Structure 1
Amino acid sequence: MTVLVVGASGATGSQLVTQLLHQNNSVKIIVRSPEKLPESWKSNDKLQIITASILNLTDSEMQDLVSDCHAVATCLGHNLTLKGMYGQPRKLVTEATRRLCKAIKANNLKSSVKFVLMNTTGVRNRDIDEPIFFAQKCVIGLLRVLLPPHVDNENAADYLRTQIGQNNSAVDWVAVRPDGLINEDQVNDYEIFQSPTRSAIFNAGKVSRINVAHFMASLINDENLWRKWKGQMPVIYSTAQNN
């Protein structure tokens, strides 16, 4: 299986690349600074490194990029700096999601392509009735005003829900929602829920980046798991961190 990973140089994206390679996938990544990548990646025959900025690609280049891909995974995010949060592109995640899906549809492939978006528990799945406390609703309202990255994450998920939907012939999707991300060296036990089991604002849980990457790779490679979560926004928590 050939998988395109966008955001592969990030903390979670790099873990996803490693998990996909371990599971014997052919992986394509698009990065702006390949010199920062692990040396082992550069000599791996299963890994194709493309040097570019995802939003600077033309529509034709984007279409070529995904033409042989069975799955696309995006771990894009905004750097936690003033420039990263308030500079351009403010719609990085949404625009990348929109353009990648547009390119997939333009290829008119015989079978649908899996699209896995890394999102956040701060974003609600509006396809279902997810309860939210009034205080959390107020804080999220402020985040929409004060933090453009939060709006970007919301809009990316909404694009998949409303524009791609549940019965698209070209794109099937899952939006994975981790809670507070932490670093760990090994995959350990984690749990998947349809909706958050705790407040993302006032009682946030934790999940390791490697666990998120393992779940995303498993979604791509395990057809039973994919069928279970297709068109949904599952939430992931590391078991040991939340007991």
Structure 2
Amino acid sequence: MKILVVGASGATGSLLVNELLKKGNHVKIIVRTPEKLPKSVRNHKNLEITKASLLDLSDTDFAKQVEGCEAVASCLGHNINLKGIYGQPRKLVTEATRRLCRAIKSTKSEKPVKFVLMSTSGYQNRDLYEPISFAQKIVIRLLRLLLPPHVDNEKAAEYLRTRIGQNHDQIEWVAVRPDGLINGENTSDYEAFPSPIRSAIFNAGKISRINVAHFMTELATHEAVWTKWKGQMPVLYDKKYVI
């Protein structure tokens, strides 16, 4: 199976690439600094690397990257520093999602391409009833004012929900919402829920990045898992944070 991963040099993206390669997939990545990847991954025979800044690619380049891919996975995010939070591009995730979807449409694949977006539990899925407290609403509004990356993550998921929707003939999607990312060396028990079971602000759970990578791999490569979650925004928790 051929899969394109963007955001592959990040903390979660690099784990996703490794998980996909371990399962025998052909993985394409677009990264500015391939040197950030572990040597064992960087030199893997099934890894195809394009060295570039993603949004600098032309529409033609985007189309070439997605052509022949059965799935596209985005682990894009903003660096947690002043430049990453307040610098350009402020709409990295949204713009990449939009351009990747446009590229998928241009290839006219015979069957729908899977698009897996790593999102955040701080985003509410408006297709479902996901009530939050008044205090959390205030905090979310402040985050939208003060933290451009939060708005970017919201708009990327909204693009899939409203512009691609549930019945697109070329694209199917899942937006994965991890709750409180932490590091972990090995996969462990975790659970996925259609909506948050804890407050993302005042009672957040945790999910290890390697478990997120495992779940995204399952989505991309196992049809039963994809069928269960397509068009949804599952929220992930490590098992011990499930209450």
| TM-score of the pair, normalised by structure 2 | 0.98
- Matched residues in 1 for 2:43 and 2:11: separation? 21
Aligned partner of 2:32 in structure 1 is: 32
* Structural mapping, 1:67-78, within 5 Å: 67-78=67-78
State the 1:241 CA deviation.
4.5
Report the secondary structure of 2:174's partner residue.
strand
Quick one: distance in 2 between partners of 1:207 and 1:16? 14
Q: Distance in 1 between matches of 2:114 and 2:144?
A: 29
Q: How many residues align?
A: 243
For the residues of structure 2 that align with 1:82 and 1:36, how far apart are their CA atoms? 21
Give the secondary-structure state (helix, strand or coil) at the position aligned to 1:95.
Answer: helix
Gaps of 5+ in 1: none
Measure the CA separation in 2 of the matches of 1:129 and 1:104: 30
Runs of 4+ deviating beyond 3 Å: none
TM-superposition CA deviations, 1:125-172 (whole Å, max 9, x none): 011111111100110011110000000000000000000000001110
2:147 & 2:44 partners in 1: Cα distance?
A: 38
Supply the AA of the counterpart residue of 1:153. N
For residues 94 and 153 of structure 1, the distance between their equivalents in structure 2, rounded to whole angstroms, comes to 7
The 3-state SS of whatever aligns with 1:228 is helix
Q: Offset of 1:40 from its aligned partner?
A: 1.2
In 2, are the aligned partners of 1:206 and 1:242 still within 8 Å (CA)? no
Aligned counterpart, 2:147: 147
Letter in structure 2 aligned against 1:213 = A
Query: Following the alignment from structure 1 to structure 2, what is the Cα–Cα distance between the partners of residues 87 and 60?
Result: 27
- After TM superposition, list the pairs within 5 Å mapping 1:224-239 onto structure 2: 224-239=224-239
Deviation at 1:38, TM superposition (A): 1.4
Q: Deviation of residue 242 (structure 1)?
A: 4.8
Percent of matched pairs sharing the same residue: 65
Deviation by residue 1:167-210 (Cα, 9 ceiling, x = unmatched): 00111000000011100100000011000000000001000000
**1:12 correspondence with 2:16:** no
Corresponding residue of 1:86? 86
Structure 2 counterparts to residues 130-169 of structure 1, below 5 A? 130-169=130-169
Distance 1:232 1:215 in 2: 14
> By how many angstroms is 1:43 displaced?
2.2
Q: Give the CA deviation at 1:41.
A: 2.0
In 2, Cα distance between equivalents of 1:189 and 1:96? 31
Q: Which runs of 5+ in 2 are unaligned?
A: none
Identify the residue that residue 198 of structure 2 maps to in structure 1.
198
Write out aligned runs for 1:109-120 (5 A). Answer: 109-120=109-120
1:97 aligns with 97
